[in-house]
Amino acid sequence: MSAIEVNIHILLVTFPAQGHVKPAIRFARRLTASNASLLVSLATNEAIGQQMRDSGAAGSDEHISFETFSDGLSVVGNQLDADKFMAQLNRAGPEGLATLINDLQVRGRPVHCIVSNPFVPWVVDVAEGFGIPCAMLWVQSCAVYAVCYQSLYRLDEFPTPERLNIDVSLRGLPVLKTNELPSFLVPFGPYQCLADAILGHIKKIKKVKWVLANSFHALETEAIQSVSELTPIMTIGPLVPLGLLGRSTASEVRGDLWKSEDDCLDWLNTQPKESVIYVSFGSIVSLSPKQIEELAWGLASSGRPFLWVAKPVDSTSEFLLPTGFLDATAGRGKIVKWCPQVEVLTHPSVSCFVTHCGWNSTLETIAAGTPILAFAHWGDQVTNAKFLVDVYSVGVRLERDAEGVVRREEVCRCIEEIREGPRAAKIRENAMKLKEAAREALEEGGSSDKNLMVFVEDLISLAS
């Protein structure tokens, strides 16, 4: 690293979870590729820092360094639930981050800009305390940002415990039913601690000089326009590996928190073109045993090949497939714990993606032009699914029954619907159009490329 003349140093703070680390690394890479005078330090807590080192996620890039700060917890053996973890991070994170900033200064690498994450609002105060300008990397959709902003200031009627199931009409967005709103904003919805963090961050948004969103203009034109009338936002996405969009790049640091079973690509090589159903629910969603059983038998009776990321929720649990399932699908199914998702999505054998609609998976699928079987669970996933199916028309929704389970017949029906017939053809056509729009946003002079350049030029003029 000594050979590099460091002019501008950006400290990119990421929330310690896979869905946040991935876009942060991709953003870091985009920045350092855009201007040789930028150096990025990507900072997260010690536990995730350790996990990244163990899985090789940190990789090596001479312009990007990986740093950690203390959250007051030991590196191993922390199984705090989300509420307790968020409370602990809020308590200890500010001091840990301040220590890191001082340490970087001592190491001759003073910080010129701090990039925050929506789940860690206190980063804004730490930046203010040091007098360092602050940006925020919004890692969900602009539609979700619009919902959060309008919910915070109650710009329209939102569900209350007394009136839970209502239609919500917000500017720039389609009418959203309660179960299509990010679930942390809905009374009794899971992960309310995320609402506290996100809304807490939006409350401080005037102290943030740049709000950079992982999205692109052509995808969310109305939502972006409506948000921009309330508060400035710049889209710089999709943050996907540029290779996915047909651009040749230096090899990207993948940022996986688990070891990837890359040999599944060899298996894909043996499958017919556009035949394989890819199934994955990201890094956090867990399926009930009943749901695993129904999904498994749905895949079995579809008669089609499949690649399923069957990831246990944590190191102490197992992902139990139903008895007889592996025999029934022998030679036709491949089960892994973690895979190189981007390579899988762009593999010629893959025909469609059964996804939980996490925002990274959503953008990667859009950039790959792959049709979607939307199986959202909570958080922003339900809003993303609404857009994928009803607004962009690039997918089919797997419907739950009265018990909240997607049954095997429904799995089979949706697989047929997305593969055959006029709706399938239209979905493929729309998916290819969105893929092209994603490519255009990132090419030189495209909407996201221009916004990134504005940010970089602002940084350069601040430092000069």
Give the binding site for ligand UDX (CB under 6 A): 18-19, 22, 140, 256, 280, 282-285, 309, 338-339, 341-342, 358-361, 364, 379-381
Kindly write down the DSSP assignment for every residue of 133-153, as one continuous string.
-EEEEE-S-HHHHHHHHHHHT
Nearer to ligand UDX, 349 or 459 (CB): 349
Min separation Cβ 254 and ligand UDX, Å: 7
Closest contact distance (angstroms) between CB of 309 and ligand UDX is 4
Which residue among the candidates 20, 63, 201, 377 is catalytic per the annotation? 20
| Known catalytic residue at 20 | yes
Distance CA 34, CA 63 (A): 11
Q: How many CB atoms lie within 10 A of CB 35?
A: 16
Of 283 and 291, which has the nearer Cβ to ligand UDX? 283
Cα–Cα distances in angstroms (integers) from residue 360 to residues 28, 316, 370, 461, in the given order: 16, 26, 14, 31
- In the complex with ligand UDX, the residue whose CB is nearer, 226 or 362, is 362
> Rounded to whole angstroms, what are the CA distances from 288 to 125, 274, 285, 372?
40, 29, 10, 22
Residue pointed to by tokens 């109650």: 154
Distances (CA, A) of 203 to 108, 193, 231, 365: 34, 15, 11, 32
Compare residues 49 and 379 and give the one whose CB is closer to ligand UDX. 379
- CA nearest neighbour of 14 among 139, 131, 113, 99: 139
User: Closer CB to ligand UDX, residue 133 or residue 305?
Assistant: 305
* One-letter identity of residue 386: K
- At its nearest, how many Å lie between ligand UDX and the CB of residue 176? 16
Minimum gap (Å) between residue 342 Cβ and ligand UDX: 6
**Cβ–Cβ < 8 Å for 287, 295:** yes
Strand partners, 66: 42
Shortest Å, Cβ 334 to ligand UDX: 12
Catalytic positions, please? 20
